[in-house]
Structure formats: structure tokens, C-alpha cells
Structure 1
């Protein structure tokens, strides 16, 4: 990972399951050339792990607050993540 690369793990809470949140996140991540994944968690939140250019990662983190039109995001927690996801962005 270069100095300009960044990896974070985000937990998105609110009405974020069954509203195409993961698919919309994947679309946006691919537009920004971000690697990682999005998956539903048992508590109703969505985990999003993203790795890429620092500006692109920041842009996606900001977008997570918006999500698709049907979503109602109440919180987004962001923490550094030390792993490096495979190429591409996956919905798990």
C-alpha cells in the first residue's frame, strides 16, 4: 500500500438492509476505483471495507451517509483497517 492509499472499515446503521444499500455502495465504489466489500451484519447494520486512493476513500465514506434513496442512515463509524482486500469490490 502506498502513502496515498488508505483502508478503512465502516459500520453503517439505520435502515440499510433490504434497500439496495450494498449494491449501491458497490456501484459507487467501482466508480471511484475502490477495492473491498459490503456485507450485511446480524444486527441490521452493513459493514463496508474499502481500500484505495485516500481522496476516493474519503468520498465513499461521505457517500455512505447518503446511500440509495430508500436508505435512512443514522450512523457511520469509521476505523482504520489493516487488511488489503482482493481486487474489485464485492457484495457479500
Structure 2
């Protein structure tokens, strides 16, 4: 893997690393943010800050990677994930 394909995200203070192919797989705001002609602003550590809660982003990122995800057993957390993934949030859709 070419290191230029690695994307570092800071989602609400929680750090994630993924690849450009993962983040651009689905037609979402994230895809548009990382289109070839867009230069996202990086913080001093080289991360792109996303102003969303980071608590459940790993579930969203895993879905982007695999097209499926194992959800937690806690019903409230599942509700949070679903609200974050499809609610009024335009970042992930």
C-alpha cells in the first residue's frame, strides 16, 4: 500500500487511519472531501478533523471497509450509530 493512500482522521478527538479507497467507496460527503481535486486541511499531526462524535465512528468505518458490520448488543448504542449514519448527518451519506 502506498502511504499517500493512507488517510488520517480525527473524528471528535478520536484518531482513525484508513485508506482513500475505503473512504471513497460510497457516495458520501467523506468521498467528496477526499476527491482528487480537493485538498483537506490537516492539523499539526497530519489528521483531517471531522466535527462529529468519534464514539461510534469505528462502526461506520468498518461498514465502509466491508459493506457490513457487527453491531454492539447495547440497544442505545445501536440507536446512536444508526442516527449518526443516516440521520441529519450529511458526512456519512
Larger Rg: 2
Q: Compute the TM-score of the two structures, normalised by the length of structure 1.
A: 0.30
Larger proportion of strand: 1
Larger proportion of helix: 2
